[in-house]
C-alpha cells in the first residue's frame, strides 16, 4: 500500500497517509483545530537504482543472445590487425 501526501488548503499543513489505492481520498484536515479541505499532492513515487555492471545483460538477456554475443566478441578479438600498406611510388 502506498503513502499519499496531502496538503491542507486552509493551514498549509502537509501530511502523509498510508492507505490502499482503493480507499477514498481524504477530504478534511486531520488537525482538530483546522478542519479545512485537503488536496492530494502529486508525488514522484519511490525510485530505484540499479547499481553494478550489466544488470540487464547478466540478468535478463536470453541464453541464445548471450551465446551470440560471446561468439561475436571472440571472433572480433581473434582477427589479425590490418596494416595499411601504402603503394610505393614508381619512378618511370
In a domain, 32, yes or no: yes
Tell me if 26 is assigned to some domain. Answer: yes
What pLDDT is recorded for position 60?
A: 62
For residue 26, give its domain range.
3-40
Tell me, what's the pLDDT at 8?
Answer: 93
pLDDT at residue 54 in the model: 61
Residue 78 lies in a domain: no
Position 85 in a domain: no
pLDDT at 90: 66
Point out which residues pair with 4 in neighbouring strands.
17
pLDDT at 20: 87
Residue 80, pLDDT score: 57
**φ and ψ at residue 33, rounded to 5 degrees:** -80, -10
Judge whether 54 lies within some domain.
no
Count structural domains, the chain: 1
Return averaged pLDDT per consecutive 10 residues of the chain, 92 residues in all.
87 89 88 89 72 62 74 69 63 61
DSSP string, 41-54: PP---------SS-
pLDDT (0 to 100) of residue 39: 93
Question: Is residue 71, in this structure, part of any structural domain at all?
Answer: no
Cα 79 to Cα 52: distance, rounded to the nearest angstrom: 30
Q: Is residue 11 in some structural domain?
A: yes
Amino acid at each position: 500500500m502506498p503513502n499519499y501526501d496531502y496538503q491542507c488548503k486552509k493551514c498549509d499543513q502537509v501530511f502523509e497517509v498510508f492507505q490502499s489505492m482503493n480507499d477514498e481520498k481524504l477530504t478534511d484536515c486531520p488537525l482538530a483545530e483546522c478542519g479545512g479541505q485537503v488536496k492530494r499532492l502529486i508525488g514522484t513515487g519511490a525510485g530505484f537504482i540499479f547499481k553494478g555492471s550489466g544488470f540487464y545483460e547478466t540478468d535478463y538477456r536470453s541464453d541464445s543472445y548471450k551465446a551470440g554475443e560471446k561468439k561475436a566478441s571472440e571472433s572480433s578479438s581473434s582477427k589479425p590487425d590490418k596494416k595499411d600498406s601504402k603503394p610505393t611510388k614508381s619512378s618511370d
